[in-house]
DNA sequence: AATGAATGAGTTTTCATTCAT
DNA sequence: TATGAATGAAAACTCATTCAT
């Protein structure tokens, strides 16, 4: 039974999570005070503690929300695609969009790094997410190899891991130097790089393999 | 003139910086208290404030130390090499060593992410370091293109940026999932990937291009 | 007119009082949160505030319940007895039973001490209860003196006060060190002590006067 | 090496402990805020947390101080006495003085009750103190029995326990009803009661055995 | 070149209480 | 006769920083 009109509590809960994602993205976990989140959400600290037992519980809620959100979008846009190359394109496009339209990719990156050793309970969901991400790409590469559109002397899991590395490393460079890095161009270049690198020997061609235009801005 | 016997003050200063690097690597800037650094260094807080004006000053000292340290090592081991491919190998080897032998690479990653927007003063040296890193690799790729050992339909700055992305993204995956990622193998795979991808059309061959053995552990 | 079937409200009210007595006994007034009582009673905080104006009102309810309960039991079991010695035996037996079968004696002790100065409104009922207790025993000793079974060179009110002291002091030692104190034995020893001490000179005898077996356990 | 002039830190530490004893006696542990103790001691909360790691640590400090203080006084005044009866007199006199001149006895009683189950770490020192108190009195009674001034058909440990009960129970009645209870008279009555009750059969006499004047005031 | 003590502003968290439904 | 959500004041505790010695 879904209630026709959402209850008051659910709405403010979502506003708290949304404010938390925003603040944590910008200033990290330690750098964000409960007070600031409450203010940003337009509720009192008490309301926040009514919904979440402590700061970490709130962060876990935010993480779950964002990981779910990202994976749902990926599944929606990418899984249906038959063509492995199109799938990789869709992955990088999704990342670009999530990184520029909202700060949701940055939230994941920031919190993942901050929680590395300091918060094992928080690290776990991130680690699981990264593994799922690599597994998803491993499947994509494996399918491409079975179809013969990808070379098979490169192990699919390795290709997946390098792809993830390229995406994350590019995002990090972008967040760190938005003036110096053109994210959409760079991300498309990753797709092109892997299309080219993973092409089977006989079919390899230069066209599209290299992006002549530098992604270094200014 | 290096004094034969170092003064007492210099020694405790270095111990403070060393303790700071250690603590910051593990718990980040906000997650590390002055107290903890002082205790780890075996001095009192007062001593720490004698050497550094405030916490940020200490962090700047640690960052300078680590950036200098990393770049000096890269310059020492890599610059002398004539062969671009050998240079890339040397870069990834250096990163592996700095990431595993000490937590100095992780220090850079952790602090770079933490300071993204929150601390512009800290972001600046990192941004500059990343630019120097990309410029250094741009030169390497440019030289390779001039020698004809690298294809020239890929812009050298783009190749450099993608190379940096792959290295950082791989390190992050490793810190986040040391059980799941074999860092040395993965890093060597990056060098192999770029050697293969950047090879000029006529010379491209499969052998060595792909690492059949997965880098995903157990 | 007792309604055949108790109303729903009355039942939950009694469950709240019962939960409150339990929690207050264990953790005191300040140490018990409204939330915990509500949870223990299986109701919401709102329900609790429907029945009681505030926390202190609830405590007053619990105190009244327990003081009434204890005094009713004493009256039932003790008052009918003709023999003063049997009356004292009955008093200590009642205390033993209320101290071991439930935590109702402990509730009284705990709250009485906690409210000493801090809550005059709460101290009053306890003070009144203690006075009634002493008066009741004063009567018992007076009757014994009139009958000639108790010496009359000891003032009855003093004997009463010392008897109360012995009972409470023994209970406290028991709550504080249940391993070290054997409550039933100790309490019976109090009755024996007063029987012996209060015996008139001519009748005094040794037999039964002292409990040879120590009440110190282990 | 005792420094001729006490260091600044030691003095404010003692002032904090003293303020804590005062506040805890009056309002109990839960009822006393750190803020209030700091204000009463004339220091800031920070100073308090410099000397004590948390509220419980401060309470432990206060407890140790008070238990030590009480036991030192008892040892000083009582141990040297050869005569067991004089020793019991000295014990009750000491209790009267500690209960009326300062609130130090009340501190012990209040905190002992409050910590019964709620704080096992705090209960331990109290339990140990009570055991030492009983043991001390057991020795006193044993010596009296060996000298033949006390009957020996009452076990010394039991007599000790009953004596402690009488003392504590009387103190509690006094704190609870200072108008209704005359502490010095009541306490002396305890000593008289035990002198009388414990007298060997042949020597028993009435004089001094009973206090004709009631201790019930007003 | 350092120490020990202290500050004070800020942090997370708790909790009695209220109120619309 | 309740419930769920929320408030706000106060609690415990942290921590960068200062300063007399």
Half-sphere exposure of D37 (CA within 13 A, CB side): 35
- What is the chain B residue with the closest CA to A193? B197
Contact map slice: B 136-165 vs A, CB within 8 A:
151, 153-155, 157-158, 161-162, 164-165
Largest CA distance in chain D: 66
Q: Is the CB of C46 under 7 A from strand F?
A: yes
Instruction: Determine the angle formed by the axes of helices C156-176 and C120-147, rounding to 10 degrees.
Output: 120
How close A81 comes to chain B (CA, Å)? 26
Question: A165 and B172 in contact by Cβ < 8 A?
Answer: yes
Task: Classify A181 as helix, strand or coil.
Answer: strand
DSSP class of B201: G
Task: Classify A31 as helix, strand or coil.
Answer: coil
Alpha helices by DSSP H, listed for chain C, are: 8-27, 34-41, 45-51, 55-74, 84-100, 104-114, 120-147, 156-176, 183-197
CB-nearest to D176 from C112, C154, C212 is C112
Q: How far apart are CA A146 and CA A152, in angstroms?
A: 8
CA of D52 to C1' of F14 (A): 13
Percent over 90 (pLDDT), chain A: 83
Q: How far apart are CA B171 and CA D196, in angstroms?
A: 86
Using CA atoms, how far residue C132 sits from B5, C74, C103, C167, D200, in Å, is 85, 12, 21, 15, 35
Alpha helices by DSSP H, listed for C115-179, are: 120-147, 156-176
How close C185 comes to chain D (CA, Å)? 10
Question: B165 and A169 in contact by Cβ < 8 A?
Answer: yes
Contact C51, C127 (CB under 8 A): no
Task: Please list, in sequence order, all residues whose beta carbon lies within 8 angstroms of the beta carbon of residue C64, skipping any fewer than 6 positions away.
Answer: C125
Looking up tokens 């200098």, which residue turns up?
A: B68
A75 at the B interface (CB within 8 A)?
no
pTM equals: 0.89
Sign of the Cα pseudo-torsion (B152, B154, B159, B161, in order): positive
B33 at the A interface (CB within 8 A)?
no
Enumerate the nucleotides of strand F whose atoms come under 7 Å of any protein CB.
1-20
pLDDT tens, position by position, B167-193? 999 999 999 999 999 999 999 999 999
Chain C contacts of D164, Cβ < 8 Å? Answer: 169, 173
Chain B contacts of A105, Cβ < 8 Å? Answer: none
Task: Please list, in sequence order, all residues whose beta carbon lies within 8 angstroms of the beta carbon of residue B178, skipping any fewer than 6 positions away.
Answer: none
B178 at the A interface (CB within 8 A)?
no
CB-nearest to D215 from C130, C161, C211 is C161
Q: For strand F, which residues in window 57-86 of chain B come within 7 Å by CB? A: none
Question: B186 and A161 in contact by Cβ < 8 A?
Answer: yes
Q: Is the CB of D57 under 7 A from strand F?
A: no
Polymer length in residues for chain D: 218
pLDDT at A74 over 50: yes
Chain A contacts of B59, Cβ < 8 Å? Answer: none
Contact B216, B204 (CB under 8 A): no
Using pLDDT thresholds of 50, 70 and 90, give the confidence band for residue C199: very high
Q: Taking the CB of residue B204, how many other CB atoms lie within 10 A of it?
A: 14
Using CA atoms, how far residue B201 sits from A159, A191, C100, in Å, is 21, 19, 92
pLDDT at B80 over 90: no
Closest of C66, B79, B194 to residue A210, by C-alpha: B194
Q: Taking the CB of residue B37, how many other CB atoms lie within 10 A of it?
A: 25
Per-residue model confidence (pLDDT) at position A169: 98
Per-residue model confidence (pLDDT) at position C216: 55
B167 at the A interface (CB within 8 A)?
yes
CA of B43 to C1' of F18 (A): 17
How close A154 comes to chain B (CA, Å)? 4
Contact D194, C186 (CB under 8 A): no
Q: How far apart are CA A13 and CA D144, in angstroms?
A: 73
Alpha helices by DSSP H, listed for A75-182, are: 84-100, 104-114, 120-147, 156-176
Per-residue model confidence (pLDDT) at position A55: 97
Question: C154 and D211 in contact by Cβ < 8 A?
Answer: yes
Of residues C202 and A63, more confidence is placed in A63
Per-residue model confidence (pLDDT) at position A31: 96
Q: How far apart are CA D172 and CA D178, in angstroms?
A: 10
Using pLDDT thresholds of 50, 70 and 90, give the confidence band for residue C4: very low
Quickly count helices (H) and strands (E) in chain C. Answer: 9, 0
Looking up tokens 């008897």, which residue turns up?
A: C163
Closest of B183, B178, B98, B181 to residue B133, by C-alpha: B98
Q: For strand E, which residues in window 29-68 of chain D come within 7 Å by CB? A: 43-47, 49-51
DSSP class of A193: H
pLDDT tens, position by position, C40-87? 999 999 999 999 999 999 999 999 999 999 999 999 999 888 899 999
Protein residue at shortest CA distance from C1' of E19: C46
CA distance between the termini of chain A: 56
Tokens found for residue B87:
């240079």
Tokens found for residue B198:
């950047």
pLDDT tens, position by position, D43-93? 999 999 999 999 999 999 999 999 999 999 999 999 888 899 999 999 999
Q: Is the CB of A12 under 7 A from strand F?
A: yes
Beta strands in chain D (DSSP E): none
Q: How far apart are CA D118 and CA D110, in angstroms?
A: 13
Tokens found for residue B1:
């003139």
Enumerate the nucleotides of strand E whose atoms come under 7 Å of any protein CB.
1-20
């Amino acid at each position: 039974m879904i209630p026709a009109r959402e209850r008051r509590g659910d709405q403010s809960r979502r506003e708290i999570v949304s404010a938390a994602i925003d603040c944590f993205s910008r200033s990290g976990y330690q750098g964000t005070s409960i007070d600031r989140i409450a203010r940003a959400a337009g509720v009192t600290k008490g309301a926040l503690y009514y919904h979440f037992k402590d700061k970490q519980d709130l962060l876990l809620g935010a993480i779950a929300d964002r990981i779910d959100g990202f994976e749902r979008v990926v599944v929606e846009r990418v899984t249906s695609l038959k063509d492995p190359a199109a799938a990789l394109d869709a992955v990088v496009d999704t990342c670009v969009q999530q990184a520029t339209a909202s700060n949701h990719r940055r939230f994941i990156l920031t919190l993942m790094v901050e929680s590395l050793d300091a918060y094992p309970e928080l690290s776990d969901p991130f680690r699981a997410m990264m593994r799922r991400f690599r597994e998803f790409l491993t499947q994509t590469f494996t399918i491409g190899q079975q179809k013969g559109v990808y070379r098979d002397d490169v192990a699919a899991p390795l290709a997946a891991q390098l792809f993830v590395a390229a995406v994350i490393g590019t995002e990090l460079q972008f967040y760190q130097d938005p003036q110096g890095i053109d994210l959409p161009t760079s991300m498309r270049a990753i797709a092109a790089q892997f299309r080219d690198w993973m092409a089977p020997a006989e079919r390899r061609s230069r066209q599209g393999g290299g992006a002549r235009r530098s992604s270094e801005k200014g």
